[in-house]
Amino acid sequence: MRHPSEELLLAVASGLADLPHRVLVEGHLDACAACRATLAELSAPGGTLLASLTPERPADRLWESLRTRIAALPPGPGPDDPLLAGVPLPQGARRELPPIPRLNWRYPLARGARLALLARDRFTGSQLLVGHMPPRRAVPRHLHLGPEDILVLAGGYEDQYGTFESGAYANYAPGTEHRPFTEPDEECWILFRLEKPNLLLGWRGWLQRLARQT
């Protein structure tokens, strides 16, 4: 299995990770005992520091304010959410997701492929998307203009960097170019985080740029 970096796990433990990263990592943790153990180790010093502090009761109005704000938060998507019916999301990922008012599937220039935006981080602007591809299909060759993180939810794919199956975490640096192939006997579901759109290469790239201008 491929795993998120220790730096990313530390960002999750410290609360510095953005929303898409948290969703991806929590989804990976559902299936990865090794990363759960690493996250616990990274969280331990902060817990020890908090435990060493002298307890001090916050003002009552602060607790009331927190209770009111928490009660006003809308619930995230549950296991029976009809919008996500058929999407094999791990429970850890669902717990981190904000409410999803609608799911608009888009169909990129790849036979059988579809993707939809799930959330956008309001501070970093990064996007969290879900994607689906039928078995035995090739994702068109494309260039990563920004970093991309991927969590494989079901099935898997293969590229020049290896084979990525259910539960695996992949990271592609800006400038990476590849053409993934889905497994021959299983459809592939992924969650992925983007900071910038990927650029399709070849004739699909010309059509992609043309579509953005219209």
Given CATH 2.60.120.10, say whether it is the number of domain 100-213.
yes
CB atoms within 10 A of CB 199: 14
- 109-163 pLDDT, tens digit each: 788 999 999 999 999 999 999 999 999 999 999 999 999 999 999 999 999 999 9
pLDDT band at 21 (very low <50, low <70, confident <90, very high): very high
Say which residue the tokens 């740029």 belong to. Answer: 209
Task: Lowest mean pLDDT of 29-43, 66-80, 118-132, name the range.
Answer: 66-80
pLDDT band at 202 (very low <50, low <70, confident <90, very high): confident
Q: Where are the domains of the chain?
A: 100-213
Instruction: Provide the whole-model pTM.
Output: 0.88
| 214: Cβ contacts below 8 Å, ≥ 6 apart | none
CB atoms within 10 A of CB 45: 10
